[in-house]
Amino acid sequence: MMVGWPTSKEVGHPSGLFGIGWRCRIVLETASMKFQRPKGTRDFYPEEMAIRNWIVDRWQRVSERSGFVAFDGPIFENLDLYRVKSGDEIVSELFHFTDRGGREFAIRPEMTPTFARMVAGRAGALPKPVKWYSIPRLCRAERPQRGRLREFFQWNIDIAGDDSVLADAECIFVAADFFREIGLSADHVIIKVNSRNLVAAVLDRTGIAADALDAVYRVLDKRDKVDDDTFGKMLEELGFLNPQQFEMLTTLGKAKGDAGLASVANLVRDSERGIAEIARMRELFSTLEAMSVGDLCTFDMGVVRGLAYYTGVVFEAFGKGGLQRAIAGGGRYDQLIGQMGGPAMPAIGFATSDVVIEDVLTEFDLLPELTQSVDVFVIDGDHACFSQVLKITAELRRRGIRALFSYKRQSIGRQMKQASSKAARRVAIVDERAAGDGVVGLKDLISGAQMDVPIEKVYEDPFLSLDG
C-alpha cells in the first residue's frame, strides 16, 4: 500500500500526528501480511518447474518430429473473438475486462480462436497444409478441481487447409505418439473417436430438427460423465423429444468399438450422408492401424464434444485409472477460420494441459524423478588457484558443459560434499599445476576413478575414460 509523506500542517497539528500514526500502522500491518497465491493457480518451485519443463520438452519433441512448427499470440484477445466461436455464454467462463477506451478484452482461455484468427489473417500466403503447435499459458474463470485449474499450460496441435482423412489421422497420431513418449500405453489410456456428421445422420433419421442438434450434442457430450438417471433427466429437460427419440438417445452412446460402428452403420444404411461418414470412419481407423497407433484408438458414439464449432471427426483421450475425465480432446472445425474473416478453410486440432498430464502420470506412477545434475564441479585445491577455477569454469560453460564452483573458499572435502549434493558427475581439482603444466585432477563421483588430465582434454570431453 502506498502512503504519502506528511505535510508540515499535519506535523504541526494533533490530528496530523494521529494521521501519521494511522498511516504508519497501515504500512507495518501491510508489510507483515502473508500473501497466498490466487486460488486455482500454482507456484513452480524448482522441483515443480523441472516437471513442467519435462512435459513441455516432450510436447515440443513430439510436435516437431511430425513436422509442426511453433507459434504464439497475445495473452489477451478481443472478447468478441470468443463470442464468435462459442456464443455469449462463454463470457462467464473468462477473465475479462474493459480498457480505458471502452474496448472489451479477455485473457485467453484457449488457443483455437487465436490460431483461426492468425491463419485467417494470412490465409493466402501460408503453404498448405498449415501445421502449427503452441504451448500457451491460459486462464479460465471456473471452479478449480482435480485436473482443471484456473491457470494452466496447454499443448495445441492444429492442421488447417486439408480436409482429408490423412489430416484427421495425423492429428490423432500425434496425440498417441505423445502418450507413448511419456510412457502411457494401451494399458493406461484410450483415444475414443467419433464423428459429429455421423451423429447428425443418426439424429436426422429419427426426425430431430437441424436447429436442435447443438442442444442435443451438449447433452450427449455428458453421456459418459454422468450416471444413467442424470443423463435421462438432462434429455427430458430438452423438452422436445418424443418417446422413440428419447429411447434412441439413451442407447446411442453405448455403441462402441467395431461392433458399435457396425450397429450405427445399420442405423444409417438408408442415409447417403450416413453411409459416406461410415466409410470415412472406417478409412480413418484403417489409417491409424497403418500408423501403428490403432491399439490406442477405438470408436465410441458417446464422444460428441459439446462445443458448437465441431463439424466432423471428434476425439477424446481418457486415462484408464481413477481420473474420471478426458485428458486430451479435439476435432475437426471446418468453419471457424471463415468465421474469423478468412476464406473457407478446413481445420482440425486437439489440446491437452500440463495439469491433467501430470495427474495421469502420477496416478500410474510414471512421473520421472528429476534432478538438476551438474557435469563438472570445479574445486580449488589451493585457494590461491581460485582465479584458475573461474577461468576453467567459464570455458566449460562456453562449450555447453554444465559447470559449477563453490562460492566459499573451504577445504577440498567440503567442496567435494557440495559437488555430491549437486549431483555432479565429475570433479575437476585445480592446484598450481593448472597454471603451470595445464593439468587438473579429474575424478568420477560414481566410480571413484581419478587421474590427472590436461585441461584441454577436459574441455573436449569431461567424461573421458579414467581407466588410465
pLDDT at 30 over 60: no
For residue 37, the 8-state DSSP code is P
Nearest 5°: CA angle at 372, between 369 and 375? 125
Query: Residue 300 half-sphere exposure, CB side, CA atoms within 13 Å?
Result: 20
Give the containing element (helix H, strand E) for 104. strand 104-107
3-class DSSP state for residue 107?
A: strand
DSSP assignment of 387-413 equals: HHHHHHHHHHHHTT--EEE-SS---HH
What is residue 225's predicted lDDT score, i.e. its pLDDT? 74
- End-to-end CA separation in angstroms for the chain: 66
Rounded Cα distance, 271 and 97, in Å: 48
User: Is residue 166 within 8 Å of residue 172, measured between CB atoms?
Assistant: no
pLDDT at 11 over 60: no
Rounded Cα distance, 254 and 99, in Å: 48
**C-alpha distance from residue 183 to each of 140, 188, 189, 307 (Å):** 29, 9, 10, 30
| Grid cell digits, residue 334 | 471446418
| Grid cell digits, residue 285 | 481407423
Sign of CA dihedral 44, 48, 50, 56: negative
Q: Which residue type is seen at 125?
A: A
| Grid cell digits, residue 146 | 482435480
User: Which residues, at least 6 apart from 285, have a Cβ–Cβ distance to it below 8 Å?
Assistant: 193, 294, 297, 299
Query: Residue 288 half-sphere exposure, CB side, CA atoms within 13 Å?
Result: 25
Rounded Cα distance, 447 and 466, in Å: 10
pLDDT at 265 over 80: yes
Digit-coded pLDDT (tens) for 231-254: 888 888 888 888 888 888 888 878
Query: Residue 461 half-sphere exposure, CB side, CA atoms within 13 Å?
Result: 4
Angle between helices 196-205 and 272-290 (to 10 degrees): 150
Rounded Cα distance, 377 and 379, in Å: 6
What is residue 58's predicted lDDT score, i.e. its pLDDT? 98
| Grid cell digits, residue 464 | 573421458
- 232-236, 311-315, 411-415, range with the lowest pLDDT: 232-236
pLDDT at 1 over 50: no
For residue 43, the 8-state DSSP code is -
Among 257, 258, 260, 259, residue whose Cα is nearest residue 202: 260
Sign of CA dihedral 379, 382, 383, 384: negative
With pLDDT > 90 as the criterion, what percentage of the chain qualifies? 68
Torsion angles phi and psi, residue 71, rounded to 5: -145, 170
| pLDDT bucket at 468, cuts 50 / 70 / 90 | low
User: Is residue 278 within 8 Å of residue 165, measured between CB atoms?
Assistant: no
3-class DSSP state for residue 424?
A: strand
Please state the pTM of the whole predicted model.
0.86
What is residue 428's predicted lDDT score, i.e. its pLDDT? 96
Rounded Cα distance, 381 and 282, in Å: 70
| pLDDT bucket at 6, cuts 50 / 70 / 90 | very low
pLDDT at 5 over 60: no
3-class DSSP state for residue 132?
A: strand
pLDDT at 10 over 80: no
What is residue 252's predicted lDDT score, i.e. its pLDDT? 81
Digit-coded pLDDT (tens) for 355-388: 999 999 999 999 998 888 899 999 998 888 999 9
**Averaged pLDDT score across all residues of the chain:** 89
What is residue 195's predicted lDDT score, i.e. its pLDDT? 95
Count CB atoms within 10 A of the CB of residue 398. Answer: 10
Rounded Cα distance, 217 and 198, in Å: 12
User: Which residues, at least 6 apart from 332, have a Cβ–Cβ distance to it below 8 Å?
Assistant: 163, 168, 196, 310, 311, 312, 313, 314, 346, 347, 348
User: Which residues, at least 6 apart from 172, have a Cβ–Cβ distance to it below 8 Å?
Assistant: 191, 193, 284, 288, 293, 297, 315, 350
Place of cell 436447429: 211
